[in-house]
Amino acid sequence: MAGFANRIERADTVIPVATVNEIIQEVPKQSVILERARKVRMSTKQQTQPVLASLPDAYWINASGDSDLKQTTKASWDGVTMTAEELAVLVPIPDAVVDDSSIDLFGEIKPLLVEAIGKAVDQAVLFGVNKPASWPTAIVPAAIAAGNDVALSATDTDVALAAAQVAGLVAEDGFAVNGFASAPGLNWKLIGSRDANGGLVYAPNVTAGQPSSLYGYPLNEVTNGAWDSTQAELLAADWSKFVVGIRQDMTFKLFDQMVISDADGAVVYNSAQQDGKVLRVVFRVGFQVANPLTRLNPTEATRYPAGVITPAA
């Protein structure tokens, strides 16, 4: 029996411990703004987009005679300026960790950095979190300020009906809702939602990575951590009026000779001295809202191409 035990011990020293070359983690989530908003390339840091500021009118000619003169009219445009701002982050990783790992750590962390960039963009654009000063008011507070909001209550929690009401407010401003964004988990609340005639208004998408459908338009749950459920349950938008300007795509660069300092100039990390490498990611992006004059609402303060459902108190 002792010999059998010895054979087991010798086998343990010969057979290596299996290592799975995979890090257990969540699948990186995408940015709803970078996916849904209209994207343009910026050749400079600032770019100006003409937006309609006044509409032409037409006039009847008096049919009683030929002496009436045709009246003149005009249309004018205001320039909306979009400014590209920089998002960046540094990730130091010790050489010993890289050398002792059978996993491509830098390859694994890149998708997570892309997700972090997307979260920062969504937070700034949707709710104004750490928003650059050059960017316009965030979508959710701007929609509420324009009066395009419907509040849920403890007794009225019909999100599908509220979504239709919000889309109606946007339509009354002269815009057409063509997509929704929502808090995580809202898809499950919409299961079985029907219209007044009993027809289903919500269709879950069983294909991974594809949005569900609400009233025939895509519904994206914002699952990258950017959504603030205390401010909004759902956003309905005419996404063509929200513009994202890409000045510089996400770039990754690996440094083995870098000194990282804090705001006071004190060195917090020296890659050469501390035997490590630093991965740097940079993304330059701008954001702007086109809120052109429409026939249905000439007042800019009460006109906005999006609306929100606010949560119950």
Please tell me the pTM assigned to this model: 0.82
| Rounded average pLDDT per 10-residue block, the chain, 313 residues | 46 43 52 91 85 72 66 72 91 78 75 90 97 96 97 86 96 96 92 80 77 91 94 96 89 86 87 85 91 92 97 85
SS3 14: helix
Cα–Cα dist 49/8, whole Å: 75
Domains of the chain in start order, with CATH, are 32-53+73-310 (3.30.2400.10)
The Cα–Cα gap between 162 and 198 comes to 16
Location of structure tokens 């005419």: 238
CA distance readout (Å), 77 to 50, 74, 93: 6, 10, 51
For all residues of the chain together, what is the average pLDDT? 83
Q: What is the DSSP letter of 127?
A: I
Strands 202-203 and 267-270: unpaired
Which amino acid is present at 180? F
* C-alpha span between 138 and 133 (Å, rounded): 11
pLDDT for the residue numbered 8: 40
- Distance between CA atoms of residues 209 and 205, nearest Å: 9
Q: What is the rounded CA–CA span in Å between residue 22 and residue 250?
A: 25
What is the predicted pLDDT for the residue at 79? 77
Residue with tokens 């294909």: 207
Sequence-ordered list of residues with C-beta below 8 angstroms from that of 60, at least 6 positions apart, any chain: none
Closest residue by Cα to residue 108 from 118, 119, 98, 100: 98
Residue 102 carries which DSSP code? S
Q: What is the per-residue pLDDT for 23? A: 40
Strands 259-261, 217-221: pairing is unpaired
